[in-house]
Amino acid sequence: MEPAPDRPRKMSLRLVRRGEDERGFEREFWSRLTPEQRVECLWDMVLEARALKGLDGDEPRLQRSLLRVERR
């Protein structure tokens, strides 16, 4: 998957030693993003996961489950 042509893809890395705050980097990263940027990142992850599974066809849709409960 290619980054959008109008904006370059950026990466952030940090070395975390055992015993340090391992989740602090993630909290800091996600808190800097706007809600729109978070959704875009998550959607990119969904598409990458589908590509790794070989599901490059149609884009995924929300699952719809139906259940009917009748009282007797």
Each residue's pLDDT expressed in tens, for the chain with a length of 72 residues:
455 556 677 777 788 788 778 788 888 888 999 999 999 998 888 888 888 888 876 677 777 788 888 888
pLDDT at site 4: 53
pLDDT at site 7: 66
pLDDT at site 10: 77
pLDDT at site 1: 45
Decide if 1 contacts 47 (C-beta within 8 A). Answer: yes
| pTM to 2 decimal places | 0.54
Ordered DSSP codes for 9-56 = ---------TTS-TTHHHHHHHHHS-HHHHHHHHHHHHHHHHHHTT--
